Chain A
Amino acid sequence: MSTGNGDSPRANGSHGNGGPGPLSGIKVIECSTWAFGPIAGHMLGDLGADVIKVENPNMPDAARGLALVAGVDVALPDGESSVFEIFNRNKRSIQIDLKQEQGQKLLKELVKDADVFLENFRPGVFDRLGIGYEDLCKVNPKIIYGSTSGYGFKGVEGQRPALDPVGQARSGLMWSTGAQGDPPNWNTLGFADLMGGNMLAYGIVSALAARELQGVGQKVECSHMMASMWLESAAIASAWYQGDGDWARFERSEASNPLANHYACSDGEWLLLSMPDSNDGWASLCEALELGELIEDPRFAAPDRRREHAAALIALLDARFAQQPLAEWARRFGESSEIESQPLRRISDLPDDPAAQANGYFIDIGHPRYGSMPELLHPVAFGETPATIRRYAPQLGEHTWEVLSDDLGYDAARIADLTADGIVS
């Protein structure tokens, strides 16, 4: 085990090892790797749960030390991985060899006093180790057991291995993003993992509510495929509620409302027009674009006309927008309260966004090894029990001693024995 110094100075002793937040006092044991499981785990931690991440000495979280992911260099200066750092805040780490019977017994002891157990290994792995839901239920009947899969636990693919790309592929997401005529689009934002982790967190918290309200623990299951489809809820409703499944990507040259579309400016930057499907602001827009002759043009004078002649209008707007840089259009549009528009920003612009600043979306956790490190705080702002970031991602086994001695009451001799036997490290 290591004795690293990863605790944030903001660690709040009055909540035990967790923090304030809606899940203050909740204890989570997490056996997770990569993104799907870890994301759910840290979100529970953000909400104040005490999260203990159990890693196998021979097979720690695969995200540790990851240097390159889908073409992006994610290595931190000391060889650690930013992927691990981002998805494992607000957790302690203990190393247990779960392949050994004594390690499994130790895990069960931890689960006995826990509220939540979550793992994102391949379906069946934990059952075979004797620490699946049925096993842990015997130790703690009210345990909430979060689990993941690629495609759902039932059916012939119930134990099929999966990673983010297959969730995006199988769910239709890859044909739903990108431009028409392009190949399918695999974006490296990890939608299937991100949404999976978020929906697993939602499911676990729902099960916590069920435990309080209905008195039961239960297994919670989430899959890459279903989480990805959930992101497509509106598209799937459109395609399949009394429909034939028709769905295609947005084609900007044919947008049915040319005034809800994005346009390229002379400097390669883009501007989104976000006008309603009515005549509000139509005249002001034409004037600002110096296209006054279009205001009464029978092809474009009303929304239904603009829909009918969309391609022609878009072509005209394309040509006009391309004549001035973004700043000029933004300036002109800013002079009219009737014109709604938004410059297209880049991800790197987000921390400077005025709303992001006014609403405290980012918090700089000031990492001891990496310095300034702005992170998004939480997707929900809670007025009374806010989310917090209290710990940096733990080093491997950083808290083994602390958890065994403080949480389980083991004395030094016993910890030494377990270490010598290779059960913990």
Chain B
Amino acid sequence: MAEGTLPGALVGLTVIEASTHILGPMAAAMLGDQGADVIKVEGLEGDPARSLRDYAGYDVSVRNAAGGGESNAIFEVMNRNKRGIAIDLESTEGRGVLRELLTTADGFIEGFGPGVLEAQGLGYKSLASANPGLIYCGLSATGPHDAEPSAPNPDAVAAARSGMMWMAGRPGSPPNWNNLSLGDTMGASMVAYGMVAAITARARGASGQRLDVSQLMSMAWLERWAVETVMVRKLEEWPRFDREETRNPLFSFYQCSDDQWIILGIIDHERDWVPFCRAMGLEWMHEDVLFNSGEARIANARQLVEALDARFAEEPRAHWEKRLGSERALIFDRVQQIAELPEDPAVQSNAYFQDVEHPRHGPTKMLTHPTLLTKTPAAYYREAPQLGEHTEEVLRERLGYADARIAELRSGGVIP
């Protein structure tokens, strides 16, 4: 922990997570980053994400150097900062153990799907009667009401259903599925946000409550500017950005001689047009009737795009970054790949990546936290749990089970 800081915001709280893949696990990991004691409950077969090999066409498997067993990048990152227990959730006895854990938990994140836990007597109302302070977050593909059976890839379905797939690419190009799992990563972030809001409310005197988050709503919320603009402006559809037809070529992106791209974010023409021309060595535009006023530049935007395309293509990106950077107020930046991120100077100065040492995998990198709390910062406490790694520890610590009870559960096949 850095000097002068306190423990994380959520230290002292216990959160139980029973979910798979990314949506629930990533949210729980975010709460774990902030110091909550997160206990991941898995069935005896474990979270299916443990055996993930292929993610978006990449082999994400990590082979252990020692100790047997395999894992993968997605599981490891999405399940950091948690302990893990395995219970036979198909059995009445196993569900009884889960219920007991939930009696003293502060939070519960579950991804079984609408109605599933209710049917097993573990729904919110039932749990709340024993633990009125419980904050229960249900996850689903489209929301708890009128839910259809879950598709194998709810994130892609949310992308199709929300209109997101028609948002990417040039106008006229086919719809496009970006493989970022936005429904999952945005959804997980919304779960974490909702949980801390409910935690705050409870600390200020409210009771516990049930939350619901879905991939569909999360996707809609991410694109909400477009959604609501379409509604209020009564547009037929949201137009994709067309760099050749844009009316403000200074708010667009260009390719340099080394094939690298650069983006400009200039909106204050009154202030920035002259410095921009200076940086670009385009002072001739001041005299050119096509470009020498705001109205002219809008009317002749196409020609301006062509002129800028040609000019940027004359030099490599580093040259333009230096020139544009010499004018203090101009907003621009390089268009980077994920591959370039850990070496990025801002990433390094602000510790956006952290180097962690995994006991079996060795050194590796992961993102830190999306927001910095300067006095109670997030931290990395532990690697993702192996299947059932903390079952006995948690049952003893949280439920006071002694040797005989543990042995009974084990011989009954309720715990491994």
Contacts and interface: CB of A to CB of B under 8 A. Distances in A.
A236 interface: yes
Contact of B222 (A23, A72, A191, A261): A191
A172 B217 contact: no
B210 interface: yes
Interface stretch (B39-47, B97-105, B332-340, B399-407): B332-340
B153 to A, nearest CB: 5
A242 B361 CA distance: 8
B180 A232 contact: yes
A342 B232 contact: no
A235 B199 CA distance: 30
Nearest to A66: B267
A380 B227 contact: no
A388 interface: no
Contacts of A404: none
B58 A238 contact: yes
A198 interface: yes
Nearest to B203: A212
A199 interface: yes
B296 interface: no
Given A71-B247, A212-B200, A351-B231, A340 B214 contact: no
Contact of B228 (A73, A86, A240, A346): A86
Nearest to B353: A240
A241 B337 contact: no
Contacts of A416: none
B9 A172 contact: no
Interface string A159-202: 00111111011111011111100111111111100110011111
Interface in B342-365: 342, 344-350, 352-353, 361-362, 364-365
Contacts of B208: 384
A9 interface: no
Given A155-B350, A170-B334, A355-B146, A163 B265 contact: yes
B340 to A, nearest CB: 7
A227 B372 CA distance: 11
Contacts, number: 538
A13 interface: no
A312 B189 CA distance: 38
Interface stretch (A105-113, A268-276, A290-298): A268-276
Interface in A271-326: 272, 274-277
Interface string A32-67: 000100000000000100000000000000000000
Residue of B143, B159, B196, B346 ringed by the most chain A CB atoms within 10 A: B346
A220 B374 CA distance: 6
Interface stretch (A95-103, A243-251, A395-403): A243-251
A327 B58 CA distance: 34
Given A177-B168, A221-B374, A379-B213, A275 B333 contact: no
